[in-house]
Amino acid sequence: MKLITTDIPCPSCNTPLTNYDGFSGACGSCGHQLDDETGGVLLAAVMAELLEGAYPGAGSGGAPPKVCKVCRRPLERKIEAGTGSESWHHHDQDMLSGHKPIPADADTVDVRSRCDFCNSDLGEEMWVLPCRDFIAGVHPVTGQNQGYAGDWSACGTCAPLIDKNQWNALLRRVQKGWEDDHGVPAPAEKVTGWRVLYRLLRKNISGSIYRAR
């Protein structure tokens, strides 16, 4: 899965969807309602422009093009509103590492890919959950829209929970992983954020989870 953060224009008034939450998604400027399917199509169109040439194999679970040279984690690409200039950042989960990301081409680094749910290293076992692209709301700091592209990967512990539809157990595992990493209880809004994200994800699952390696 790749997280895309950028402005997505309202199909009615063309201003960024500032208060779109993926469920009651109404445009903050004109009130235009976006249903799930229209939102997915819109995101796909915006992403097609953004990803053109930048993510070979996007959506196929392939490695993203930039990886941090220091921690070997895939980096997140941010597109500035207006100028369209791009920059590379650690994912939220890797912010604790305490170093600045040093972007390198993915094929020059032995990438440590992660479980898209609990963030653990995938290692020998990797599962794939087929999923449509979807818009999931607004970044709390930048105010830009967030979209999730491509299939989601899962580790050998998260995969059976998804397969058996045990999403509350999965959420508890994700929360515990975050708390072990950070050494503090997860803030309520963080937990709510995961719950909302997984509800959206479940609406967009497009096939059964399968073992990829």
**DSSP labels for 137-171?**
EE-TTT--EEEEESPEEE-TTHHHHHHTT-HHHHH
> Smallest distance, Å, CB 100 to Zn ion?
8
CB of 48 to Zn ion, least distance (A): 21
Single out the residue of 1, 4, 27, 138 in contact with Zn ion (rule: CB under 5 A).
Answer: 27
Selected from 42, 79, 115, 128, the binder of Zn ion by CB under 5 A is 115
Q: Which of 61, 58, 65, 64 is nearest to 43 (CA)?
A: 58
Q: Does 159 bind Zn ion (CB under 5 A)?
A: no
By C-beta, is 19 or 142 nearer to Zn ion? 19
Q: Which amino acid is at 40?
A: G
> In the beta sheet, which residues pair with residue 205?
131
Q: Does 111 bind Zn ion (CB under 5 A)?
A: no
* Angstrom distance (rounded) from CA 19 to CA 26: 7
**Smaller CB distance to Zn ion: residue 9 or 59?**
9
**Binding of residue 70 to Zn ion (CB under 5 A):** yes
E strands in 102-142: 103-105, 127-129, 134-138
- With CB under 5 A, what is the number of residues at the site for Zn ion? 16
* Phi–psi pair at 171, nearest 5 degrees: -60, -40
Rule CB under 5 A: say whether 12 interacts with Zn ion: yes
118 binds Zn ion (CB under 5 A): yes
Is 20 a residue that touches Zn ion (CB under 5 A)?
no
**Which CB, 52 or 100, lies closer to Zn ion?**
100
| 206 φψ region: left (φ > 0), alpha (ψ -120 to 50), beta (else) | alpha
Q: Which residues bind Zn ion (CB under 5 A)?
A: 10, 12-13, 27, 29-30, 32, 68, 70-71, 101, 115, 117-118, 155, 158
